[in-house]
Amino acid sequence: MNHDLETAEHPETLKRVVIEPLTRVEGHGKVTLLLDEDEHIQQARLHIVEFRGFEKFIQGRPYWEVPVLVQRLCGICPVSHHLAAAKAVDALVGVRQLPPTAEKIRRLIHFGQTLQSHAVHFFHLSSPDLLFGFEDEVSHRNIVGVIADHPDIALKGVKLRKFGQEVIRVVSGKRVHGTLAVPGGVNKALSREDRDYLLRQTDEVLAWSRDAVDLVKRLYVANSAFHDRFGRIDSHWLSLVDSDGNLEIYDGSLRTRDDSGCMIFDQAPCDDYAEFIREGIKPWTYMKFPFLITLGREDGWYRVGPLARVNNCDQIATPLAEAQRREFLAQDAAGHPIRAPLAYHWARMIELLHCAEAIVGLLRDPDILGGELQLRGEPRQEGIGVIEAPRGTLFHHYRIDEQGLIEKANLIVSTTNNNQAMNESIRAVAREFLDGHELTEGLLNHIEVAIRAYDPCLSCATHAVGKMPLSLELLDCNGRLLNRLERNSRGSCELA
Amino acid sequence: MTAYFQIDGVPIPFESGQTIMDAALAAGQYIPHLCHNPEFRPHGSCRVCTVRADGRFVAACTFPASEGAKVECASDELRELRNGLLQMLFVEGNHVCPGCEKSGACQLQAVAYYCEMLAPELPHFFPRRHVDASHPDLAIDYGRCILCELCVRASREVDGKSIFAIGGRGIKAHLLVDSPSGKLGDTDMSVHDKAAHVCPVGAILIKHRGYDRPIGQRLYDQRPVSVVGDVIQAEETRDD
Ligand code: SF4
């Protein structure tokens, strides 16, 4: 492991390189590297803007507003926040089990959201690295380059995303930031007309989703020795599973495995999350570091997201995705979890296929066309909602006063869960690829490739398409500027 | 013989004692307004219904109609004036439409759309105003109150309770609740009171039920306020 790269012994004597803003990730973040005279990496850290403001902002607001307010955390996966908050609010109104129509409608929008999020991430943000190589010309290494060189691939990405957005629009009234969940249920079922409109597209969506898995598999396997090694770390894994151990993204219980796949705990109720997970802090970043309490602060960190879910579950409930899962896991002859960060892309596309299959199943289910929409039970003052967002496990926890106003909120967002893992991966990459070399844009992109694999949502919607201005500064130990590399808004790089 | 005046050249019949607003609404001619509702005594405070009657700026809701008067309503000048008033209303309170449960069924929002105000352009005041949720069935979000006094009038004139009043002056004007604590929970207000259903914005809320109308089915989703009318009528016909 490369844990020693978290904090250098004498940072004051080292050169500092900052990669900011990170590109082709959602939101803003930066990486700082400290190098010694001989360009050896001594420290590597990822810093991310956190969401704490929101927890404060919603204090004093009525609880039934929260699922709509928290959507504004993010323009990329608002549905995840909406649903996680809605599940917590269900608990506040005393509803454990939603009526079938309400639960299926919520699942439908969640699958739609996950499908569109995974499609954007792979096709728009990450496929350029895998198709063109990490050191490809930056002006070409983006979705525009994919459209130029592989229009068929780009088009499928665009269409998959569009379908996911259409599911969201039809269910919630808007493509982004609609309304759907109300305390104890949903505000509408699907109309027959909307159901048929979506169903008409599903054959193609299934075909494109299968192609997407095939594509990522082909790209990965074409250079699997390198892809397996790139930024590889050992970690524990955390995700939801259902009561049979199936991959589950809407509901279920918590399961964790260690790096060799042995169960640490299973079927832990989400309501008890605080007994299993705690958030640590480090002096150099506002972003917290969640860990499993039983294993402690240093060793208890874990990974979440598509790779965690695919590694963690016993099976996937839909047949095409399940077949792909088996093939995916067969890569490791010893039957251990797949550890390579770049395997996240593959796992993500397996999930995309699962979403497509699950959407078809739900659209064929008559329950989604109508039935009881909302239930009420005995009110409570504390509610916890846990969901698998596209990027990983997402925790929403609220306490309200007797009048129904939010007193306290705690959110652990998916990206925070992967904080330590992303830091470990960039350290692994920095040590293997950057150490001792003169830094170039292509080499620095290696760092970004490792981060991108986790699909972090660093704050809210940015669609950088590889043209985001990026400036790298090399300073000596006295803070003097030695070298400056700039990527301008047209995407070309200049030494300043 | 019916008497007539004109709004933007359109003849409007009226009866003696009617205001410009009364006659216009009766004739199906919409004049944007917020604090007015035909069920209550006119108030003339929001000034959104300002028109020019024979050259003079007047509030249509309080100014009597008169034979042969020439009233301008849709001129660029008046549009701009109304837009300015709406701009000020939006920034003076905390009108965050994206998170508000009243969005799509809010008269302030609907009138702003009608008047083609697309976004707040003035700096926001972001006043710190709290939510009073002390009542078991009702909540007041003071940040959204536009001081239209509809609840004041409804409580006094219809419910006979006089629970609300406006206190303070100018920028310090605010809604008051008549109870020792100033809290709604300490009044005899009921969710069935008229005052609970007249608020044109999301200030007086029925608790526990926000966002229950899907987007597309909310009051102003399909047709503009000039066709749909005020929030009050819609609230009264709401089936729950
Ligand atoms: S609470 Fe509503 S009805 Fe009462 S004055 Fe304020 S805006 Fe008008």
pLDDT in tens, A152-205: 999 999 999 999 999 999 998 877 677 888 999 999 999 999 999 999 999 999
Residue A495's pLDDT band (cuts 50, 70, 90)? very low
Top pLDDT among B226 and A134 is at: B226
Distance in Å, alpha carbon of A23 to nearest chain B alpha carbon: 28
Distance (Å) from CA B41 to ligand 1 centroid: 15
Q: Which of B74, B107, B134 is the last residue of a domain?
A: B74
Q: Is the pLDDT of residue A398 over 80?
A: yes
Question: Are A74 and A11 within one domain?
Answer: no
Question: Are B117 and B43 within one domain?
Answer: no
* B210–A403 CB contact, under 8 Å: no
Chain A residues in contact with B217 (beta carbon < 8 A): 188
Mean of pLDDT values over B177-206: 96
Ligand 1 atom 4: the closest Cα is on which residue?
Answer: B151
Top pLDDT among A19 and B163 is at: B163
Question: Are B31 and B101 within one domain?
Answer: no
pLDDT computed for residue A487 by the predictor: 46
Counting atoms of ligand 1 from 1, which one is nearest the CA of B149? 5
Angle between helices A343-363 and A151-172 (to 10 degrees): 50
What whole-number distance in Å separates Cα of residue B87 and Cα of residue B168? 22
What are B201's two structure tokens? 């914005």
Chain B residues in contact with A177 (beta carbon < 8 A): 98
pLDDT computed for residue A490 by the predictor: 43
Q: Is the pLDDT of residue A300 over 90?
A: yes
**Contact yes or no for B207/B138 (Cβ under 8 A):** yes
Q: Which CATH number do you get for residue A155? A: 1.10.645.10
Question: Are A452 and A476 within one domain?
Answer: no
What whole-number distance in Å separates Cα of residue A422 and Cα of residue A437? 22
Counting atoms of ligand 1 from 1, which one is nearest the CA of B144? 7
pLDDT computed for residue A460 by the predictor: 24
pLDDT computed for residue A445 by the predictor: 82
- Please check whether residue A332 touches B, CB under 8 A: no
Give me the number of domains chain A comprises. Answer: 3
Top pLDDT among B216 and A138 is at: B216
* B209–A179 CB contact, under 8 Å: no
Q: Is the pLDDT of residue A332 over 50?
A: yes
pLDDT tens by residue, B145-185: 999 999 999 999 999 999 999 999 988 999 999 999 999 99
Question: Are A335 and A457 within one domain?
Answer: no
Q: Write the single-letter amino acid at B164.
A: F
Residue A406 parent element (H or E) = strand A406-412
Q: Is the pLDDT of residue A20 over 90?
A: no
Q: Which CATH number do you get for residue B205? A: 3.30.70.20
What whole-number distance in Å separates Cα of residue A254 and Cα of residue A267? 5
Longest distance between any two alpha carbons in chain B, whole Å: 56
Residue A171 parent element (H or E) = helix A151-172
Mean of pLDDT values over A41-47: 82
pLDDT tens by residue, A97-113: 999 999 999 999 999 99
Q: How far apart are the first and last CA of chain B?
A: 45
Per-chain mean pLDDT for chain B:
93
**CB atoms inside a 10 Å sphere around CB B104:** 21
Name the DSSP class of A469: -
pLDDT computed for residue A475 by the predictor: 56
Top pLDDT among A264 and A475 is at: A264
Question: A44-58, A62-76, A418-432, B70-84: which has the minimum mean pLDDT?
Answer: A44-58
Question: Are A324 and A409 within one domain?
Answer: yes
- Phi and psi at residue A65, to the nearest 5°: -80, -25
**Contact yes or no for A432/A440 (Cβ under 8 A):** no
pLDDT computed for residue A390 by the predictor: 94
Name the DSSP class of A7: S
Q: Is the pLDDT of residue A493 over 50?
A: no
CB contact residues (below 8 A), chain B span 111-150, against chain A:
130-131, 133-134, 139
Distance (Å) from CA B226 to ligand 1 centroid: 21
Q: Report if residue B59 sits inside a domain.
A: yes
Q: Which residues constitute the domain of residue A87?
A: 54-422
pLDDT computed for residue A421 by the predictor: 93
Q: Before B214, cis peptide (omega within 30)?
A: no
- Please check whether residue B101 touches A, CB under 8 A: yes
Q: Is the pLDDT of residue A486 over 80?
A: no
Longest distance between any two alpha carbons in chain A, whole Å: 69
**Contact yes or no for A65/B202 (Cβ under 8 A):** no
Pairing of strands A285-292, A277-282: antiparallel
Top pLDDT among A292 and A75 is at: A292
Place of tokens 């927890």: A55
* B139–A177 CB contact, under 8 Å: no
Task: Give the three-class secondary structure for A209.
Answer: helix
Residue A330's pLDDT band (cuts 50, 70, 90)? very high
- Residue in B99, B185, B216 closest to A72 by CB: B99
Dihedral sign, Cα of residue A474, residue A476, residue A478, residue A484: negative
pLDDT computed for residue A281 by the predictor: 82
What whole-number distance in Å separates Cα of residue A232 and Cα of residue A433? 13
Q: Which of B29, B53, B74 is the last residue of a domain?
A: B74
Task: Give the three-class secondary structure for A186.
Answer: strand
Distance in Å, alpha carbon of B221 to nearest chain A alpha carbon: 11
Give me the number of domains chain B comprises. Answer: 2
Of the candidates A49, A47, A51, the one whose C-alpha atom is nearest the C-alpha of residue A18 is A47
- Residue in A67, A93, A178 closest to B215 by CB: A178
Q: Report if residue B196 sits inside a domain.
A: yes
Question: Are B33 and B93 within one domain?
Answer: no
Top pLDDT among A423 and A473 is at: A423
Distance (Å) from CA B175 to ligand 1 centroid: 8
Mean of pLDDT values over A115-130: 89
Q: Is the pLDDT of residue A469 over 60?
A: no
- Please check whether residue A62 touches B, CB under 8 A: yes
pLDDT computed for residue A27 by the predictor: 58
Q: Is the pLDDT of residue A296 over 60?
A: yes
Q: Is the pLDDT of residue B240 over 70?
A: no
Ligand 1 atom 3: the closest Cα is on which residue?
Answer: B199
Question: Are A93 and A77 within one domain?
Answer: yes
Question: Are B94 and B69 within one domain?
Answer: no
- Residue in A61, A93, A182 closest to B211 by CB: A182
Top pLDDT among A174 and A331 is at: A331
Question: Are A140 and A243 within one domain?
Answer: yes
* A68–B211 CB contact, under 8 Å: yes
Of the candidates A316, A362, A4, the one whose C-alpha atom is nearest the C-alpha of residue A189 is A362
Q: Which residue of A has its CA nearest to B140?
A: A62
Residue A447 parent element (H or E) = helix A441-453
pLDDT tens by residue, B41-61: 998 989 999 999 999 999 999
Q: Which residues constitute the domain of residue B65?
A: 3-74
Q: Which residues line ligand 1 (CB under 6 A)?
A: B 145-151, 175, 198-199, 201, 203-204
pLDDT computed for residue B13 by the predictor: 97
Per-chain mean pLDDT for chain A:
86
Top pLDDT among B154 and B236 is at: B154
**Contact yes or no for B45/B149 (Cβ under 8 A):** yes
What whole-number distance in Å separates Cα of residue A87 and Cα of residue A98? 10
pLDDT computed for residue A478 by the predictor: 56
Question: Are B95 and B26 within one domain?
Answer: no
Question: Are B118 and B147 within one domain?
Answer: yes
